[in-house]
């Protein structure tokens, strides 16, 4: 249930005395001061009085606020009628103005711009060497590891390259292919073959898709981009990369033609 | 119980269920030794389909399956015997963590004595408590759940091996280290019979490479881009276990063989004592290739590739090389012979690549063929673009017919093609190029295809080199001598008293020779490596 809130504490001047009266009535009944029928009559009477007061409170409100006040009054009466003093207490809690802690305020959050500034400052501090990373000197460039590391280190380095391959790592892979250690050569070849397969499989799939819907320019465009990505992957020799790049551009042209024809 | 075998060959993940270089070697070796009776222990996992891919030779007296992920339940721990669980777990830890000492033998003895199995050592509460202590020592920064499953698989594998039924055999011969080597060590410890390890590829290197690119292993990333000094990761647990298996296999073995010199260095790094090391090459039936001669009839320049269509053979590089080769030798034809059913997805990708490169007119996929020899005579050069090999039989067979070859620099390909320091045959029989380099492969192939005199000279070198080193009768003589030597050195008389094997556990089946005909159907075609 979503309660319509009053938005101010003014109505508590009415709610709190009502709660006190209802509580006194209940205590009197529990202590044996009156029979059930008398208690019920007085309870209903209190509810009627409250309804009259609430209706007056809602009627005197400005037109824009009137419907909200009626909703609050109706909810209060329902709570009172069904729950007696307990209902009134619940209504006071629910219908009162929201506490500042209930809704996160913008003051609790750092504005994105401030977070960005902080990252910038951190980045700047690292660049200026004002902030030092512990043991940073122990991080060796992968190229050093591939050139001078032990077998285990070279395999670890190739593992890193395999997981985060970029064109910049291609010379390292090619260097590892010529390593004196057979196990290093085998792993380098495995990583290289996998990277080739990633590109050729993608090209194959896009080729089939473009052939299936030759009138769609998007298919040719994606295929052209896949060829360009393969050309720029660092995996191919210069002549083959040029050929793939030309093919990629040619397919881009096909995509444009198809787009204009459509 | 099965008839006593002369040699029990122990293989992991191969013969008779998986085609491959080592499985083909086993098949050829057993057929080349008809006077010996063989028993085969085939180690695999439950999910491995057990359909024979090789017709079983007549001198195979039995095949025993050992399933790594199923081991005997064993006795439930009692009030007194549960005290043995923690020490057994520590011995298991030492076995998996490569701690030097007699832990593996002690573990075998303890498990035999207590008759424990999975129930006590993996499924009980004391086993869980002991495993937690191991976890804190071995992977303090890693997730317990991942460690638990790794531990469970590795420990269950070891348990499965050391509770496996052993056939009666004079000699145990593992064709790799790893689980096969560990089972051999168990057999050596339990029966006292001689034990030989033969490594084609170096098991620890292969696992190291597999683990380096494995995506299923959790990495904490704590080491970032750093290599060298870093906290232990889950993959280290696996690698340490495999390295430990090799060390144990070397420690128990009476002799350790491999096919070429470079491998011996790796074996020594993993703890193989130099005095146990031997080189025994792969052998082929050279005489069977004597009658294969180059067909003089005019034909387009032909490149032959023989091998399974699987990623490790890097068929893609071969196809890309053919595309490049067409610019140098436009009328070239490339023939690929080998089964495509092991990795149908890869085979389909290769065919798609042929279409993608527009070279369908130049490339022929023949699949399995009944007689490879028929194609060796009508080819001009053999290509082998594998990422990894040991001593490829296909290369030896092609070389025996005088076919020059272009191979990648893997395994002993360079030794076969270029010879080595003490090689009695001088000269090169082809070219060795770096892996994953289609252009280099294409240029080397073109050089051979376009120079008839060089091609003929390379063929002559190959024809002379192969019989001198790789003749099956020479290789068989070396193994016979090795068996005699290790039998004498262990002081074992030829065994006639049966070793009383424990009862066959669930998931471990032993088939006597008499039942083999029903179990093993023939496989048509050749066995490409």
Looking at the complex, report in whole angstroms how far the Cα of residue A108 sits from the nearest Cα belonging to chain B: 32
Contact A85, A19 (CB under 8 A): yes
pLDDT, residue B112, reads 93
Sort out which chain B residues have CB atoms less than 8 A from A156's CB and list them. 212, 227-228
Task: Among A134, A147, A161, A183, pick the best mutation site for testing chain B contact (most B Cβ within 10 A).
Answer: A183
Give the closest residue to B363 by CA, choosing from B322, B416, B314, B403.
B322
Give the H or E element holding residue A123.
helix A112-127
* A157-169 per-position pLDDT tens digit: 898 888 888 898 9
- B4 neighbors B168 (Cβ within 8 angstroms): yes
Hey, are the CB atoms on B213 and A160 less than 8 Å from each other? Answer: no
Chain B residues 224-243 with CB within 8 Å of chain A: 224-229
For strand B302-306 and strand B277-279, is the pairing parallel, antiparallel, or unpaired? unpaired
* Confidence category of residue A54, pLDDT binned at 50, 70, 90: confident
Residue B35 DSSP one-character state: T
The answer to whether the CB of B333 falls within 8 A of the CB of B300 is: yes
- Residues of A within 8 A of B388 (CB-CB) are 186, 189-190
The span from the CA of B445 to the CA of B326, in Å, is 11
pLDDT at position B484: 94
Q: Nearest to residue B95, comparing CAs of B253, B250, B243?
A: B243
pLDDT at A2 over 50: no
Pairing between β-strand B60-67 and β-strand B255-258 as defined by DSSP bridges: unpaired
The predicted pLDDT at position B235 comes to 83
Q: What CA–CA distance (Å, rounded) separates B342 from B19?
A: 8
Q: Is B315 on the interface with A (CB under 8 A)?
A: no
In this complex, do B213 and A190 lie within 8 Å of one another by their Cβ atoms? yes
Cβ contacts (< 8 Å) between A160 and chain B: which residues? 225, 227
Neighbour-count burial of B373, counting CB atoms closer than 10 A to its CB (0-12 exposed, 13-18 middle, 19+ buried): middle
Checking if the pLDDT of A5 tops 70, the result is no
Residues forming beta bridges with residue B11, ordered by sequence position = B42
The pLDDT, as a whole number, for residue A80 is 83
Tokens matching residue B270: 């993993």
> Of A180, A57, A207, A119, nearest to B265 (Cα)?
A180
Rounded distance between C-alpha atoms, residue B402 and residue B377, angstroms: 9
Please give chain B's pLDDT, 529 residues, in tens: 558 999 999 999 889 998 888 898 899 899 989 999 999 999 999 998 889 989 999 999 999 999 999 989 998 888 888 899 999 999 999 999 988 778 899 999 999 999 999 999 999 999 999 999 999 999 887 889 989 999 999 999 999 999 999 999 999 999 999 999 999 999 999 999 999 999 998 999 888 878 877 777 766 655 555 555 555 678 889 999 999 999 999 999 999 999 998 899 999 999 999 999 999 999 998 999 988 888 888 889 999 999 989 888 999 999 999 999 999 999 999 999 999 988 888 899 899 889 989 999 999 999 999 889 999 999 999 999 999 888 999 999 999 999 999 999 999 999 999 998 888 888 999 999 999 999 999 999 999 999 999 999 999 999 999 998 899 899 999 999 999 999 998 776 544 333 343 443 444 444 444 333 333 322 233 334 4
Looking at the DSSP assignment, which residues form a beta bridge with residue B365?
B336
pLDDT at B356: 86
In this structure, what DSSP letter does residue B309 have?
S
CA nearest B431: which of B460, B464, B455, B465? B455
Predicted TM-score of the model (pTM): 0.71
d(CA B167, CA B15): 17
Question: pLDDT tens-digit profile of A110-155?
Answer: 555 666 677 777 777 777 767 666 666 666 778 888 988 888 889 8
For residue B270, whether the previous peptide bond is cis, meaning omega lies within 30 degrees of 0, is: no
Residues of B in contact with A193 (CB under 8 A): 311, 314, 316-317, 387, 435-436
Q: Whose structure tokens read 């990277």?
A: A195
Q: From CA B152, how far away is CA B149, in angstroms rounded?
A: 5
State the Cα–Cα distance between residues B37 and B228, nearest whole angstrom. 49
Largest separation between any pair of C-alpha atoms in chain B = 83
């Amino acid at each position: 249930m979503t309660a319509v809130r009053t938005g101010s504490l003014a109505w508590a001047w009415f709610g709190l005395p009502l709660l006190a009266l209802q509580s006194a009535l209940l205590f009197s009944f529990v202590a044996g001061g009156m029979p059930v029928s008398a208690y019920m009559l007085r309870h209903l009477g209190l509810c009627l009085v409250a309804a009259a007061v609430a209706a007056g409170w809602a009627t005197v409100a400005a037109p824009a606020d009137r419907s909200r006040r009626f909703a609050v009054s109706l909810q209060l009466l329902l709570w009172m009628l069904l729950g007696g003093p307990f209902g009134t207490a619940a209504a006071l809690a629910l219908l009162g103005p929201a506490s500042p802690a209930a809704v996160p305020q913008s003051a609790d959050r750092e504005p994105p711009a401030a977070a960005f500034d902080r990252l910038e400052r951190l980045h700047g501090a690292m660049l200026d060497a004002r902030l030092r990373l512990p043991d940073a000197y122990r991080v060796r460039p992968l190229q050093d590891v591939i050139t001078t590391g032990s077998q285990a280190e070279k395999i670890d380095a190739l593992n890193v390259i395999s997981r985060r391959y970029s064109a910049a790592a291609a010379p390292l892979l090619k260097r590892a292919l010529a390593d004196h250690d057979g196990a290093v050569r085998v792993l380098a070849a495995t990583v290289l073959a996998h990277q080739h397969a990633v590109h050729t499989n993608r090209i194959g799939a896009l080729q089939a898709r473009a052939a299936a819907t030759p009138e769609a320019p998007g298919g040719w465009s994606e295929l052209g981009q896949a060829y360009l990505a393969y050309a720029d992957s660092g995996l191919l020799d210069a002549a083959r990369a040029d050929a793939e790049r030309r093919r990629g551009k040619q397919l881009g042209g096909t995509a444009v033609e198809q787009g204009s024809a459509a | 119980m099965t008839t006593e075998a002369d040699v029990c060959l122990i293989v992991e993940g191969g013969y008779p269920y998986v085609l491959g270089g080592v499985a083909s070697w086993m098949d050829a070796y057993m057929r080349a030794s008809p006077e010996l009776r063989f028993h085969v222990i085939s180690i695999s996992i439950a999910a491995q389909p057990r359909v024979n891919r090789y017709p079983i030779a007549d001198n195979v007296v039995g095949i025993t399956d050992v399933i790594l992920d199923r081991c005997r339940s064993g006795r439930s721990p009692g009030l007194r015997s549960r005290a043995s669980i923690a020490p057994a777990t520590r011995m298991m830890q030492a076995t998996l963590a490569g701690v030097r000492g007699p832990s593996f033998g002690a573990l075998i003895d303890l498990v035999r004595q207590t008759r424990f199995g999975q129930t006590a050592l993996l499924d009980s509460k004391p086993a869980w408590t002991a495993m937690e202590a191991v976890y804190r020592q071995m992977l303090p920064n890693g997730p317990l759940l991942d460690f638990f499953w790794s531990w469970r698989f590795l420990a269950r594998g070891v348990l499965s091996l050391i509770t496996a039924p052993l056939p009666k055999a004079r000699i145990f011969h593992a064709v790799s280290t790893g689980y096969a080597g560990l089972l051999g060590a168990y057999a050596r410890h339990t029966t006292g019979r001689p034990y030989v390890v033969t490594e084609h590829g170096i098991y620890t290197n292969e696992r190291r490479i597999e683990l380096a690119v494995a995506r299923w292993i959790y990495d904490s990333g704590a080491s970032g881009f750093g290599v060298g000094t870093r906290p232990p990761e889950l993959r280290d647990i696996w690698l340490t276990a495999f390295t430990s298996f090799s060390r144990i296999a070397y420690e128990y073995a009476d002799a350790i063989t491999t096919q070429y010199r470079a491998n011996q260095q790796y074996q020594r790094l993993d703890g193989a004592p130099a005095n146990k090391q031997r080189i025994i090459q792969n052998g082929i039936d050279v005489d069977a290739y004597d009658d294969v001669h180059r067909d003089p009839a005019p034909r387009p320049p032909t490149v032959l590739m023989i091998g399974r269509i699987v990623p490790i053979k890097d068929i893609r590089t071969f196809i890309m090389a053919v595309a490049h080769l067409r610019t140098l030798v436009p009328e070239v034809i490339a023939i690929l012979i080998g089964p495509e059913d092991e990795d149908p997805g890869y085979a389909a990708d290769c065919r798609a690549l042929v279409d993608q490169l527009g070279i369908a007119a130049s490339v022929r996929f023949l699949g399995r063929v009944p007689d490879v020899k028929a194609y060796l005579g009508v080819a001009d050069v053999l290509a082998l673009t594998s990422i990894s090999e040991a001593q490829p039989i296909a290369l030896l067979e092609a070389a025996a017919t005088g076919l020059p070859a272009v191979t990648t620099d893997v395994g002993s390909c360079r030794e076969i093609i270029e010879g080595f320091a003490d090689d009695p045959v001088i000269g090169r029989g082809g070219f060795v190029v770096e892996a994953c380099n289609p252009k280099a492969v294409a240029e080397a192939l073109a050089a051979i295809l376009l120079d008839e005199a060089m091609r003929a000279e390379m063929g002559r070198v190959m024809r002379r080199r192969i019989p001198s080193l790789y003749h099956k009768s020479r290789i068989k003589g070396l193994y016979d001598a090795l068996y005699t030597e290790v039998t004498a050195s262990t002081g074992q008389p030829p065994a006639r008293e049966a070793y009383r094997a424990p009862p066959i556990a669930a998931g471990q089946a032993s088939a006597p020779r008499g039942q083999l005909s029903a179990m093993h159907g023939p496989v048509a075609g050749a066995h490409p490596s």
